[in-house]
Amino acid sequence: MKESYTKEMGFVGDYIVSIRKIEKSFNDLRVLNELSLDIEPGIFGLIGPNGAGKTTLIRLILGLIRPSSGTIEVLGLDIEKDSLRIRERLGVLHERPTYPKGSAPLRFLQRIHDIYGDGKSPDALLELVGLSEAADRRIGNLSAGMTQRLGIAQALVGNPELVILDEPTSNLDVVGRYEIIQLIMQLHDEFGISFIVASHVLSELERICDNVAFIRNGTIVMQGGTLELIDRFSKGRFRITTDNPQQLAPLLEGVEGVGRIRITGISTLTVVVSSNSLVDLERRIKDTAEHAGIQVYSILGASTLEDTYMEVMTGVS
Amino acid sequence: MYPRLKKLKAIMELEIDTHYSFPLLETIVSLLVIMSFYYATKAGFFMYGEIPIEYPIPGQSLLDLLPKWIEMGASVLAGRVYDNMMVILAFFVPVLTALSFGRDMDAGAFKTLLSYPISRRQLFMSKELLVLATTCGISSVSVLVAIRTFEPGPVHMDIVLMGTAVLWIPAMIVSSITALIAIHSRSLSASLFGGIAVSVGRVLSPFLFKDMPDMLIAIMNPGYAINTYLSSIQSGEILYSIPVGMFIAFAIGVLLLIVSMVSFDRMEV
C-alpha cells in the first residue's frame, strides 16, 4: 500500500481504503472493535443497523475523529499524516448535511470550488445533477431531493477519486431515491468515481454495489461481492406469499424438507429448504396450506440482499 | 502563499454566507456609534465650554485641548459614549462567536466543513478573524473617525493605538473564551450565554467591585481605566497601570487564542 499513491498517476493500488484493527471508544463505550476492512475501487456498500458504527467509521476515514488504535489508509495515504491530501481527492455527503440556507446553489458551489482551488465548474456540476434551473434559488427553499443532489454536487467539486455517501437517500421519496441511485451509477460509469455508500436501504445497495460489508457492534461480520454473497446465503431459501403467514408457519414445521421458517411480513414468510426436489416441495407446501384453508399466492427464491442481510445478521445474533 | 490566502478568503466568504446574514445591522449600529460619538461630544463642548459647534479649531490638536476638555467635563460625556460602544462590543463579540462556533457545533456543520481540504487552523483563524474584523474592525473605524473629528492635523499614533487596542484586546479575550466554551460544551446556548456572561462581567466588574486594584481594572476593562484617569483621578499609578495592564491583557488574549486553537485542533467532530 505504501507505493499505491503517486503524484503523477494518483491512486494506483488495489484498495481505495485499507483499515487495520481499528478501535474507537467514546468514554467507556467501544464503538469500533478491532475492525479491519479492505475496499476495492468500485461502488461499495456499508450496511448495518443503527448504532453499528457506520458513521463512526466514515468519520474516522475523513479524519474527523481519531482512532483509539489501528491504522487507516485512504487512496494509499495515511489518515494521520496526510488528512489534507486525502480530502483533496475525496468528496463527502454526510447524513443530514447543513449548507448555508440563505445562499444559492451556484454561489455555494463557487465557494467550495475556491476552497479546492481547482475542479469542476459549478455550472457544469449543477447541470450534471439536474439543478441548473435552481442555480439561483435559496438553498433553504430547495426540496429534500434537490438538497441531496446539491450535496452530491458539492462532493464532486474537487474531481474526487472517491466519494463517501452517508445515507444518501434518507428523507427522500421513491422518485427522489431512484434519481439519486441513477446519478451514482451514472457518475461511476462516466467518470470512474468510486463510492462508499452507507445505507439502510438494501434494495438500492443491491442495485448499485459491486461489494458490500455488513457491520454490527463495531465489527465487520461479512464482506464480499454483492452477487456472490446473495448467491451464497440465499441458496435453498424461498419466500412464500400467503394470506395467513402466522397460521401457515407452524404447519410448515411438519413438512418434510422444510427447515428454518421466519415470518417476514404481513403476507410473507421465508423458509430454508433442504429438499432436492423443489417441485415436490412446492407441491407439499401448497397441499399443507390448502388443507388448512390458507391461500398460497407464490413461492419464489428469496435471493435479495435484504434476505442475505437477514440471514447473516440473525446467524450472528 | 497565494493559494492559501485564496482558500482563507473562500472559507471566510462561506462563513459570511452561513452566519453573517445581518451585517447590515452591524453596520447600522456602528454608524450610530460614530454619529453619537461625534455629535454628543460636540454638544458637550458647546454646552459645558461654550465652544462653538464648528469645532475643531484649525491648528489645535486634541492633546493641546485635553486639559480644557477635562476641566469642562466634556470628557465625561465623550467617555460615556465610548462606554456605550464598549457595551455594544460586549454584546456583539460573544454573540457572533457563539453563532460562528456554537451553531456550527449544534448543527453539525463542522463535519461538512472539515471534509473539504481545509486545515482546522485555517477554519479556526478565519472564523476568529471574521468575528473580530466585523466587530472591532468597524468600531475601530468609528474611533478613527471620532479622533479625526477633533484632530484634523497629523494624527497622534499613540492615541489611535490606545483607542483601537482598548477595542481589540478585550474582544480577543471574550471571543477566545466564547469559542472555548463552544468547543467544550458543543452547544450554541451554552456558548451564547457563557460568552455574554464573561463579556458583560468583564465590562461591569470595575463598577461592581470598587476596591479592585488599578492593574486588574486595566486588564479587565482598559476603557474604564482610561476614563477614570481622564475624568477624575489622574494619578500616576493609574497612568502606569494602563499600558502594563493592557499588555498583560494582550498576553492573556494571545494565550487564550492559542488554547482555543489547540482545543479546536483536537476536537472530535
Domain boundaries, chain B: 2-45+60-266
Is residue A301 within 8 Å of residue A287, measured between CB atoms?
no
pLDDT of residue B58: 57
A68 and A173 co-located in one domain: yes
Contact A87 B115 (CB under 8 A): yes
Nearest to A244 by CA among A268, A272, A264: A268
> What is the tally of structural domains in chain A?
2
Q: Which residues of A touch B14 (CB under 8 A)?
A: 100, 108, 111-112, 115
Q: Which residue among A64, A66, A114 places its CB closest to the CB of B111?
A: A64
Query: What is the rounded CA–CA span in Å between residue A196 and residue A163?
Result: 6
Domain contains A133:
yes
Per residue of chain A (317 residues), what is the pLDDT tens digit?
A: 444 545 455 556 788 999 999 999 998 899 999 999 999 999 999 999 888 899 999 999 999 999 999 999 999 999 999 999 999 999 999 988 889 988 999 999 999 999 998 888 999 999 988 899 999 999 999 998 899 999 999 999 999 999 999 988 887 888 888 888 998 999 999 989 999 999 888 888 888 999 999 999 999 999 999 989 988 887 788 889 999 999 999 999 888 888 888 888 899 998 888 766 778 888 889 999 999 999 999 988 887 888 888 888 876 55
Q: Which of A225, A256, A274 is the last residue of a domain?
A: A225
Residue B93, C-alpha cell as written in the block:
463579540
Confidence of residue B22 (pLDDT cuts 50, 70, 90): low
Q: Which residues of B touch A97 (CB under 8 A)?
A: 108, 112
Domain contains A10:
no
3-state secondary structure of A220: strand
- The ipTM value here is 0.82
Q: B121 versus A316: which is more confidently predicted?
A: B121
Q: CB within 8 A of B49, min separation 6: which ones?
A: B68, B69, B72, B74
A221 and A282 co-located in one domain: no
Domain contains A230:
no
pLDDT of residue B150: 60
* E strand intervals along B49-192: none
Range of the domain at A116: 17-225
A254 and A139 co-located in one domain: no
A262 and A159 co-located in one domain: no
Contact B115 A107 (CB under 8 A): no
- CA dihedral (B89, B90, B93, B95) positive or negative: negative
Domain contains A260:
yes
Largest CA distance in chain A: 73
Cross-strand bridge partners of residue A71: A20
Contact A84 B108 (CB under 8 A): no
* Mean pLDDT value of segment B152-169: 77
Query: What is the rounded CA–CA span in Å between residue B30 and residue A92?
Result: 40
Contact B268 A94 (CB under 8 A): no
Q: What is the pLDDT of residues B176-233, one digit of tens each?
A: 999 999 999 999 999 999 999 999 898 888 888 888 888 999 899 888 888 777 766 6
Q: Which residue among A97, A102, A117 places its CB closest to the CB of B112?
A: A97
A181 and A242 co-located in one domain: no
A76 and A128 co-located in one domain: yes
A174 and A40 co-located in one domain: yes
Nearest to A43 by CA among A176, A198, A232, A269: A198
CATH number of the structural domain spanning residue A278: 3.30.70.100
Domain contains A1:
no
Query: What is the rounded CA–CA span in Å between residue A36 and residue A213?
Result: 11
Q: CB within 8 A of A179, min separation 6: which ones?
A: A130, A145, A149
Domain contains A135:
yes
Q: In angstroms, how far is the first alpha carbon of chain B from the final one?
A: 28
CA distances from B241 to B95, B180, B221 (A): 30, 28, 12
Parallel, antiparallel or unpaired: strands A69-74 and A5-6? unpaired
Query: What is the rounded CA–CA span in Å between residue A153 and residue A171?
Result: 18
Query: What is the rounded CA–CA span in Å between residue B42 and residue B44?
Result: 5
Q: In degrees rounded to 5, what are phi and psi of residue A79?
A: -70, -25
Give the CB-side neighbour count of residue B38, counting CA atoms within 13 A. 15
Query: What is the rounded CA–CA span in Å between residue B126 and residue B264?
Result: 13
Contact B21 A102 (CB under 8 A): yes
pLDDT of residue B67: 64
Contact A62 B108 (CB under 8 A): no
Domain contains A190:
yes
Q: Which of A205, A225, A245 is the last residue of a domain?
A: A225
Q: Which residues of B touch A103 (CB under 8 A)?
A: 17-18
Nearest CA in chain B to A115: B7
A50 and A194 co-located in one domain: yes
CA distances from B85 to A169, B33, B78, B166 (A): 50, 6, 11, 11
Q: B69 versus A219: which is more confidently predicted?
A: A219
Nearest CA in chain B to A110: B10
A53 and A27 co-located in one domain: yes
Burial tier of A6 (Cβ tally within 10 Å: 0-12, 13-18, 19+): exposed
Query: What is the rounded CA–CA span in Å between residue A179 and residue A92?
Result: 18
Give the CB-side neighbour count of residue A254, counting CA atoms within 13 A. 7
pLDDT of residue A207: 87
Sheet architecture: strand order including A219-225 = A90-93, A162-166, A194-199, A43-47, A211-216, A219-225
A299 and A214 co-located in one domain: no
Asked if the peptide bond before residue B213 counts as cis, ω within 30 degrees of 0, the response is no
Contact A114 B9 (CB under 8 A): yes
Cross-strand bridge partners of residue A185: none
| Helix (H) or strand (E) run with residue A36 in it | strand A29-39
Contact B108 A65 (CB under 8 A): no
A310 and A251 co-located in one domain: yes
A220 and A243 co-located in one domain: no
Contact A87 B117 (CB under 8 A): yes
Q: Which residues of B touch A114 (CB under 8 A)?
A: 6-7, 9-10, 13
| A232 Cα distance to chain centroid | 19
Burial tier of B42 (Cβ tally within 10 Å: 0-12, 13-18, 19+): buried
Shortest Cα–Cα distance, B31 to chain A (Å)? 25
- CA dihedral (A129, A130, A136, A141) positive or negative: negative
Domain contains A213:
yes
Nearest CA in chain A to B7: A115
pLDDT at B18 > cutoff 80: yes
The reported pTM is 0.81
Nearest to A109 by CA among A120, A98, A93, A94: A120
Q: In degrees rounded to 5, what are phi and psi of residue A228?
A: -60, -45
Shortest Cα–Cα distance, B119 to chain A (Å)? 7
pLDDT at B34 > cutoff 90: no
CATH number of the structural domain spanning residue A217: 3.40.50.300
Residue B136, C-alpha cell as written in the block:
472591532
